[in-house]
Amino acid sequence: MSEEKKFLYVNRRAPYGTIYALESLEVVLIGAAFEQDVSLAFLDDGVFQLTKGQDTNGIGVKNFSPTFRALGDYEVTKLFVEAESLAERGLTKDDLQEIMYEDEDDDWAEKPSIHIVSRAEMADIMADQDVVLSF
Amino acid sequence: MKFGVVVSEGPYTHQAADSAYLFVKAALEQGHEVPRVFFYHDGVNVSTRLTIPPQDERNIQKNWSALALDHGVDLVVCIAAAQRRGILDENEATRQGKDANNIAEGFRISGLGQLIEMGIQTDRLVTFGD
Protein backbone atom coordinates (compact mmCIF):
# COMPACT_ATOMS: atom_id res chain seq x y z
CA MET A 1 0.00 0.00 0.00
CA SER A 2 2.36 2.68 -1.14
CA GLU A 3 -0.41 4.88 -2.52
CA GLU A 4 -1.03 7.95 -0.35
CA LYS A 5 -4.49 9.44 -0.24
CA LYS A 6 -5.85 12.56 1.39
CA PHE A 7 -8.11 11.61 4.29
CA LEU A 8 -10.34 14.17 5.97
CA TYR A 9 -12.17 13.38 9.20
CA VAL A 10 -15.11 15.75 9.63
CA ASN A 11 -16.23 16.31 13.22
CA ARG A 12 -19.63 17.94 13.44
CA ARG A 13 -20.94 16.94 16.84
CA ALA A 14 -20.36 17.96 20.46
CA PRO A 15 -17.82 15.80 22.35
CA TYR A 16 -20.36 14.32 24.76
CA GLY A 17 -24.03 13.38 24.51
CA THR A 18 -23.32 11.00 21.65
CA ILE A 19 -20.37 8.70 20.97
CA TYR A 20 -19.55 10.04 17.50
CA ALA A 21 -16.69 12.31 18.59
CA LEU A 22 -14.92 9.63 20.62
CA GLU A 23 -15.29 6.96 17.96
CA SER A 24 -14.08 9.44 15.34
CA LEU A 25 -10.91 10.02 17.32
CA GLU A 26 -10.42 6.26 17.56
CA VAL A 27 -10.47 6.03 13.76
CA VAL A 28 -7.96 8.88 13.48
CA LEU A 29 -5.54 7.19 15.90
CA ILE A 30 -5.75 3.80 14.17
CA GLY A 31 -5.64 5.41 10.73
CA ALA A 32 -2.43 7.22 11.59
CA ALA A 33 -0.55 3.92 11.22
CA PHE A 34 -1.41 3.86 7.51
CA GLU A 35 0.76 6.88 6.66
CA GLN A 36 -1.85 8.76 4.68
CA ASP A 37 -2.19 12.54 4.34
CA VAL A 38 -4.57 13.20 7.24
CA SER A 39 -6.56 16.32 8.11
CA LEU A 40 -9.30 16.91 10.67
CA ALA A 41 -12.14 19.37 10.25
CA PHE A 42 -14.19 20.76 13.12
CA LEU A 43 -17.44 22.50 12.35
CA ASP A 44 -20.94 23.01 13.76
CA ASP A 45 -21.00 21.69 17.36
CA GLY A 46 -17.80 19.79 16.55
CA VAL A 47 -15.83 22.90 17.53
CA PHE A 48 -16.73 22.15 21.17
CA GLN A 49 -14.51 19.04 20.96
CA LEU A 50 -11.41 21.23 21.07
CA THR A 51 -12.43 23.55 23.92
CA LYS A 52 -10.11 23.68 26.91
CA GLY A 53 -11.04 22.99 30.52
CA GLN A 54 -13.44 20.15 29.79
CA ASP A 55 -14.66 18.44 32.97
CA THR A 56 -16.82 15.34 32.59
CA ASN A 57 -16.93 14.31 36.27
CA GLY A 58 -20.60 15.20 36.52
CA ILE A 59 -21.72 12.98 33.65
CA GLY A 60 -19.72 9.82 34.34
CA VAL A 61 -17.98 9.56 30.97
CA LYS A 62 -14.29 9.74 30.16
CA ASN A 63 -12.85 13.14 29.26
CA PHE A 64 -10.96 12.30 26.07
CA SER A 65 -10.01 15.87 25.16
CA PRO A 66 -6.34 15.49 26.30
CA THR A 67 -5.92 12.94 23.48
CA PHE A 68 -6.12 15.73 20.91
CA ARG A 69 -2.83 17.10 22.25
CA ALA A 70 -1.16 13.75 21.47
CA LEU A 71 -2.14 13.83 17.79
CA GLY A 72 1.18 15.44 16.85
CA ASP A 73 2.96 12.27 18.03
CA TYR A 74 0.86 10.38 15.48
CA GLU A 75 1.87 12.86 12.76
CA VAL A 76 -1.66 14.21 12.62
CA THR A 77 -0.89 17.92 12.48
CA LYS A 78 -3.66 19.57 10.45
CA LEU A 79 -6.73 20.50 12.47
CA PHE A 80 -8.99 22.93 10.62
CA VAL A 81 -11.61 24.76 12.68
CA GLU A 82 -14.37 26.71 10.98
CA ALA A 83 -14.43 30.36 12.08
CA GLU A 84 -18.18 30.80 11.53
CA SER A 85 -19.00 27.78 13.70
CA LEU A 86 -16.88 29.23 16.52
CA ALA A 87 -18.49 32.66 16.21
CA GLU A 88 -22.04 31.27 16.08
CA ARG A 89 -21.37 29.59 19.44
CA GLY A 90 -19.76 32.59 21.08
CA LEU A 91 -16.33 30.96 21.02
CA THR A 92 -12.96 32.33 20.00
CA LYS A 93 -9.60 30.73 19.35
CA ASP A 94 -8.70 31.44 23.00
CA ASP A 95 -11.40 29.01 24.14
CA LEU A 96 -9.62 26.15 22.38
CA GLN A 97 -6.82 23.95 23.66
CA GLU A 98 -3.33 24.75 22.48
CA ILE A 99 -2.34 21.80 20.28
CA MET A 100 1.24 21.79 19.00
CA TYR A 101 3.42 19.50 16.93
CA GLU A 102 7.14 19.32 16.21
CA ASP A 103 7.93 19.91 12.55
CA GLU A 104 10.62 17.42 11.55
CA ASP A 105 11.22 19.33 8.29
CA ASP A 106 11.96 22.53 10.21
CA ASP A 107 14.46 21.40 12.87
CA TRP A 108 11.64 20.11 15.11
CA ALA A 109 10.24 23.59 15.62
CA GLU A 110 7.04 23.63 17.67
CA LYS A 111 4.09 24.74 15.56
CA PRO A 112 0.35 25.01 16.16
CA SER A 113 -1.82 22.23 14.68
CA ILE A 114 -5.04 24.24 14.83
CA HIS A 115 -5.86 26.48 11.88
CA ILE A 116 -8.95 28.68 11.93
CA VAL A 117 -10.43 28.78 8.44
CA SER A 118 -13.49 30.40 6.91
CA ARG A 119 -16.49 28.40 5.73
CA ALA A 120 -15.44 29.03 2.12
CA GLU A 121 -11.91 27.80 2.83
CA MET A 122 -13.36 24.71 4.53
CA ALA A 123 -15.32 23.95 1.37
CA ASP A 124 -12.08 24.11 -0.64
CA ILE A 125 -10.32 21.83 1.86
CA MET A 126 -13.13 19.28 1.54
CA ALA A 127 -13.14 19.46 -2.25
CA ASP A 128 -9.41 18.69 -2.24
CA GLN A 129 -9.76 15.33 -0.44
CA ASP A 130 -9.81 11.73 -1.69
CA VAL A 131 -11.64 10.24 1.28
CA VAL A 132 -14.00 12.14 3.58
CA LEU A 133 -15.28 10.45 6.72
CA SER A 134 -17.97 12.40 8.53
CA PHE A 135 -18.82 11.89 12.19
CA MET B 1 -16.09 1.53 -10.23
CA LYS B 2 -14.98 0.16 -6.88
CA PHE B 3 -17.06 1.37 -3.92
CA GLY B 4 -16.37 1.14 -0.20
CA VAL B 5 -19.41 1.56 2.03
CA VAL B 6 -19.73 2.63 5.68
CA VAL B 7 -22.87 2.00 7.73
CA SER B 8 -22.86 4.12 10.86
CA GLU B 9 -26.38 3.96 12.30
CA GLY B 10 -28.34 1.10 13.84
CA PRO B 11 -31.00 -1.02 12.11
CA TYR B 12 -34.74 -0.25 12.27
CA THR B 13 -34.20 3.02 14.21
CA HIS B 14 -32.53 4.58 11.21
CA GLN B 15 -32.71 4.10 7.46
CA ALA B 16 -28.93 3.99 6.96
CA ALA B 17 -28.59 0.19 6.97
CA ASP B 18 -31.49 -0.16 4.50
CA SER B 19 -30.26 2.55 2.14
CA ALA B 20 -26.75 1.15 2.18
CA TYR B 21 -28.11 -2.33 1.38
CA LEU B 22 -30.14 -1.02 -1.56
CA PHE B 23 -27.14 0.98 -2.77
CA VAL B 24 -24.80 -2.02 -2.66
CA LYS B 25 -27.36 -4.24 -4.37
CA ALA B 26 -27.91 -1.70 -7.14
CA ALA B 27 -24.19 -1.11 -7.59
CA LEU B 28 -23.50 -4.84 -7.93
CA GLU B 29 -26.40 -5.27 -10.38
CA GLN B 30 -24.88 -2.56 -12.55
CA GLY B 31 -21.51 -4.27 -12.66
CA HIS B 32 -19.68 -2.19 -10.06
CA GLU B 33 -17.56 -3.75 -7.37
CA VAL B 34 -18.25 -3.47 -3.66
CA PRO B 35 -15.46 -5.44 -2.02
CA ARG B 36 -16.23 -4.40 1.55
CA VAL B 37 -18.83 -2.78 3.80
CA PHE B 38 -17.70 -1.46 7.17
CA PHE B 39 -20.13 -1.26 10.12
CA TYR B 40 -19.32 1.39 12.73
CA HIS B 41 -21.00 3.21 15.63
CA ASP B 42 -24.51 1.69 16.12
CA GLY B 43 -24.18 0.20 12.63
CA VAL B 44 -22.53 -2.81 14.27
CA ASN B 45 -25.97 -3.80 15.59
CA VAL B 46 -26.94 -4.90 12.09
CA SER B 47 -24.73 -7.95 12.59
CA THR B 48 -26.50 -9.70 15.46
CA ARG B 49 -28.33 -12.84 14.36
CA LEU B 50 -30.65 -12.59 17.39
CA THR B 51 -32.98 -9.93 15.99
CA ILE B 52 -36.55 -11.07 15.34
CA PRO B 53 -38.40 -8.43 13.33
CA PRO B 54 -42.14 -9.01 12.70
CA GLN B 55 -42.67 -11.44 9.83
CA ASP B 56 -44.22 -8.85 7.54
CA GLU B 57 -41.16 -6.60 7.91
CA ARG B 58 -37.83 -6.78 6.16
CA ASN B 59 -35.05 -8.61 7.99
CA ILE B 60 -32.09 -6.27 7.72
CA GLN B 61 -29.50 -8.72 9.03
CA LYS B 62 -30.65 -11.47 6.66
CA ASN B 63 -30.61 -9.06 3.72
CA TRP B 64 -26.97 -8.27 4.43
CA SER B 65 -25.95 -11.86 5.13
CA ALA B 66 -27.41 -12.85 1.76
CA LEU B 67 -25.35 -10.17 0.03
CA ALA B 68 -22.20 -11.53 1.62
CA LEU B 69 -23.00 -15.13 0.70
CA ASP B 70 -24.25 -14.44 -2.84
CA HIS B 71 -21.75 -11.78 -3.89
CA GLY B 72 -18.77 -12.25 -1.59
CA VAL B 73 -19.10 -8.79 -0.06
CA ASP B 74 -16.80 -8.59 2.97
CA LEU B 75 -18.97 -7.38 5.88
CA VAL B 76 -16.63 -6.05 8.56
CA VAL B 77 -17.81 -5.06 12.01
CA CYS B 78 -15.56 -2.76 14.02
CA ILE B 79 -14.29 -4.65 17.06
CA ALA B 80 -14.09 -1.65 19.39
CA ALA B 81 -17.61 -0.49 18.53
CA ALA B 82 -18.89 -4.10 18.67
CA GLN B 83 -17.48 -4.78 22.12
CA ARG B 84 -19.15 -1.69 23.55
CA ARG B 85 -22.49 -2.86 22.16
CA GLY B 86 -22.36 -6.59 22.88
CA ILE B 87 -21.62 -7.96 19.43
CA LEU B 88 -19.34 -11.01 19.70
CA ASP B 89 -18.11 -13.81 17.52
CA GLU B 90 -17.14 -17.18 18.94
CA ASN B 91 -13.49 -16.25 19.22
CA GLU B 92 -14.14 -13.00 21.08
CA ALA B 93 -16.73 -14.60 23.37
CA THR B 94 -14.18 -17.18 24.44
CA ARG B 95 -11.41 -14.63 24.79
CA GLN B 96 -13.57 -12.31 26.90
CA GLY B 97 -15.09 -15.09 29.00
CA LYS B 98 -18.66 -14.52 27.76
CA ASP B 99 -21.21 -17.33 27.60
CA ALA B 100 -22.56 -16.63 24.12
CA ASN B 101 -21.87 -15.07 20.76
CA ASN B 102 -24.32 -13.48 18.37
CA ILE B 103 -22.62 -12.59 15.09
CA ALA B 104 -24.58 -13.49 11.97
CA GLU B 105 -23.35 -15.45 8.99
CA GLY B 106 -21.36 -13.40 6.48
CA PHE B 107 -20.15 -10.83 9.02
CA ARG B 108 -16.73 -10.78 10.61
CA ILE B 109 -15.30 -8.75 13.46
CA SER B 110 -12.08 -6.88 12.78
CA GLY B 111 -10.29 -3.61 13.43
CA LEU B 112 -10.63 -0.02 12.27
CA GLY B 113 -7.64 -0.56 10.01
CA GLN B 114 -10.05 -2.33 7.67
CA LEU B 115 -11.96 0.94 7.28
CA ILE B 116 -8.83 2.91 6.41
CA GLU B 117 -7.66 0.16 4.04
CA MET B 118 -11.05 0.26 2.32
CA GLY B 119 -10.68 4.02 1.84
CA ILE B 120 -7.27 3.52 0.28
CA GLN B 121 -8.22 0.64 -2.00
CA THR B 122 -11.56 1.82 -3.41
CA ASP B 123 -12.41 4.60 -5.87
CA ARG B 124 -15.21 6.08 -3.75
CA LEU B 125 -16.12 5.79 -0.10
CA VAL B 126 -19.83 6.22 0.59
CA THR B 127 -21.11 6.70 4.14
CA PHE B 128 -24.67 5.94 5.20
CA GLY B 129 -25.47 7.61 8.51
CA ASP B 130 -26.56 10.87 10.05
**Interatomic CA distance for residues B58 and A59, integer angstroms:** 37
Cβ of A134 under 8 Å from any chain B Cβ? yes
Cβ of B127 under 8 Å from any chain A Cβ? yes
CATH of B2-128, one of 3.40.630.30, 3.30.565.10, 3.10.590.10, 3.40.1260.10: 3.40.1260.10
- Where are the extended beta strands (E) located within chain B? 2-7, 33-39, 74-78, 107-110, 124-128
Mean pLDDT of B56-84: 97
Active site residue B127: no
State the smallest CA–CA distance between residue B119 and chain A in angstroms.
Answer: 6
Q: Which residue of B has its CA nearest to A4?
A: B120
Within 8 A by CB and 6+ apart from A81, the residues are A41, A42, A43, A47, A50, A93, A96, A114, A115, A116, A117
Q: How far apart are the first and last CA of chain A?
A: 25
**Interatomic CA distance for residues B11 and B46, integer angstroms:** 6
Within 8 A by CB and 6+ apart from B95, the residues are none
What pLDDT sits at residue A3?
73
As a whole number, the mean pLDDT across chain B is 97
Cβ of A70 under 8 Å from any chain B Cβ? no
Query: Which of A26, A132, A135 minimises the CB distance to B112?
Result: A26
Query: Which domains are assigned to chain A?
Result: 6-134 (3.40.1260.10)
What pLDDT sits at residue A112?
97
State the smallest CA–CA distance between residue A126 and chain B in angstroms.
Answer: 14
**Res B3 pLDDT > 90:** yes
What pLDDT sits at residue A2?
54
Query: Which of B81, B117, B121 minimises the CB distance to A23?
Result: B81
Of residues A91, A115, A111, A95, the one with CA closest to residue A103: A111
Contacts of B116 in chain A (CB under 8 A): 7, 27, 30-31, 34, 36
The answer to whether the CB atoms of B112 and A31 lie below 8 A apart is yes
Which pTM was predicted? 0.93
Mean pLDDT of B42-67: 97
Give, for all 135 residues of chain A, the pLDDT tens digit: 457 999 999 999 999 999 999 999 999 999 999 999 999 999 999 999 999 999 999 999 999 999 999 999 999 999 999 999 999 999 999 999 999 999 999 999 999 999 999 999 999 999 999 999 999
What are the residue ranges spanned by the domains of chain B?
Answer: 2-128
Q: Are B48 and A27 in contact, with CB atoms under 8 Å apart?
A: no
What's the pLDDT tens digit per position in B82-130? 999 999 999 999 999 999 999 999 999 999 999 999 999 999 999 999 8
**Which of B120, B122, B126, B130 is most worth mutating to test chain A (most A CB atoms within 10 A of its CB)?**
B120
Mean pLDDT of B53-77: 97
Cβ of A36 under 8 Å from any chain B Cβ? yes
CA atoms within 13 A on the CB side of B122: 25
Contacts of A19 in chain B (CB under 8 A): 41, 84
